[in-house]
Amino acid sequence: MANVTAWLKSFGATLDRALFKIGDTTITPLSLLIFLGTLIIAAVVGRLVRQAIGRYFTRRTDVSEGAGYALERIAQLSIVAAGVLVGLENVGIDLSALTALGAVLGVGIGFGLQGVAQNWVSGLTLLIERPVQRGDFIELGDTVGVVDEITLRATRVLTRDNVAIIVPNHALVTGTVHNLSQPNRNYRLRIPVGVAYGSNTALVTDTLVAVAKANDEIRHDPAPQVLFVDFGDSALAFELCVWLDDPRNEPRIASDLRFAIDHAFRENEIQIPFPQRDVHLKQPS
């Protein structure tokens, strides 16, 4: 029994042994254990709260998946941050003494991580407001493709060639984004067509409409439309306007329509002209 008592006293003395000091606070092994224990409890509670929020929003149909995910992350990080503060308070560290140090570090880190912080804030904006969602077909500068994944830092876009492009979130928030999937996926495709002067314009119109209606991937409501847009230098300029169900199919459907237009024009003897120039040669006097 005496040995146990002696061991407990020795163990207690070890826990109370000073390791280092932060300001006027002496840090001991016991205070470190208390701090680590507080962090572990905060991490576990944060994870449980995140899972509970996730289950709650899974059953809700009026809240988007992105907004639910953002709230999960915010709740978890808030609990962990609170755990850090409580742990420091339990250790006996005066939090007000860390304010000046935190301000200095914050300025230094802020300059270094300014871009990262900007992307994180933009990521939360995307997840909550959802101007761009997973599965949307977007155009951002030279980047054209389907939104595959949105994280807090960046968004992954898959192009038609199945190439993944990582776009920083701030570019989606501050830049001009053409979202071709919102408010719906209906997309207007325009095919410019030039015919020779002297062509029967009514026949041209009927032929183009017939070509559009023969394509099963063209919407019939709104109906295909043919516009006589201009008297060009070498041709009468027409435009075939059709509606698609999905903008991702635009290149293939446009190609199919051009093949069909060429075939139909040949059958109806409608000529597609090429640029012509009259050259007058003057003889030297």
The enclosing domain of 191 has a CATH number of 3.30.70.100
Same domain, yes or no: 23 and 105: yes
Same domain, yes or no: 172 and 200: no
Name the residue with higher pLDDT: 114 or 14: 114
Tell me how crowded residue 283 is: count the other CB atoms within 10 A of its CB: 4
Cis peptide bond prior to 29, omega within 30° of 0: no
Q: Residue with structure tokens 């409501």?
A: 221
Q: What is the mean pLDDT of residues 46-63?
A: 72
Element (H, E) at 23: none
Q: What is the mean pLDDT of residues 51-60?
A: 72
Please give the tally of structural domains in the chain: 3
Last residue within a domain, chosen from 179, 209, 236 = 179
Residue from 71, 86, 77, 64 nearest 133 by CA:
64
The answer to the question of residue 276 being in a domain is no
The answer to the question of residue 22 being in a domain is yes
pLDDT at 103 over 70: no
Distance CA 80, CA 39 (A): 7
Among the residue ranges 11-15, 111-115, 186-190, 248-252, the one predicted with the least confidence is 11-15
Question: Residue 124 corresponds to which tokens in the numbers above?
Answer: 């939360």
For residue 192, what are the domain limits?
A: 187-267
The answer to the question of residue 248 being in a domain is yes
Burial class (CB in 10 A: 0-12, 13-18, 19+), 54: middle
- Residue 7, pLDDT score: 53
The answer to the question of residue 45 being in a domain is yes
Mean of all residue pLDDT scores within the chain = 80
Same domain, yes or no: 215 and 197: yes
Sorting pLDDT into bands at 50, 70 and 90, what band is 252?
A: very high
- The amino acid at 194: G
- Residue 239, pLDDT score: 97
- Residue 40, pLDDT score: 85
The answer to the question of residue 34 being in a domain is yes
The answer to the question of residue 2 being in a domain is no
- Residue 200, pLDDT score: 95
- Residue 43, pLDDT score: 86
Say if residues 242 and 186 touch (Cβ distance below 8 Å).
Answer: no
Name the residue with higher pLDDT: 77 or 31: 77
- Provide the b/e sequence for 164-201 (b: ≥16 CB within 10 Å): ebebbbbbbbeeebebbbeeeeebebebebbbeeebee
Same domain, yes or no: 106 and 149: no
The answer to the question of residue 148 being in a domain is yes
Same domain, yes or no: 50 and 30: yes
pLDDT at 105 over 70: no
pLDDT at 257 over 70: yes
Q: What angle do the packed helices 29-59 and 2-15 form, to 10 degrees?
A: 70
Q: What is the mean pLDDT of residues 216-226?
A: 92
Same domain, yes or no: 198 and 175: no
Same domain, yes or no: 213 and 258: yes
Same domain, yes or no: 38 and 108: yes
Same domain, yes or no: 107 and 24: yes
Q: What is the CATH number of the domain that holds 38?
A: 1.10.287
Sorting pLDDT into bands at 50, 70 and 90, what band is 270?
A: very high
- Residue 66, pLDDT score: 58
- Residue 202, pLDDT score: 95
Same domain, yes or no: 160 and 91: no
- Residue 2, pLDDT score: 54
Same domain, yes or no: 217 and 238: yes
Q: Residue with structure tokens 């968004």?
A: 155
pLDDT at 61 over 70: no
Distance CA 279, CA 235 (A): 18
Sorting pLDDT into bands at 50, 70 and 90, what band is 97?
A: low
Coil, helix or strand at residue 20: strand
Name the residue with higher pLDDT: 217 or 18: 217
The answer to the question of residue 84 being in a domain is yes
Same domain, yes or no: 203 and 247: yes
Q: What is the CATH number of the domain that holds 148?
A: 2.30.30.60
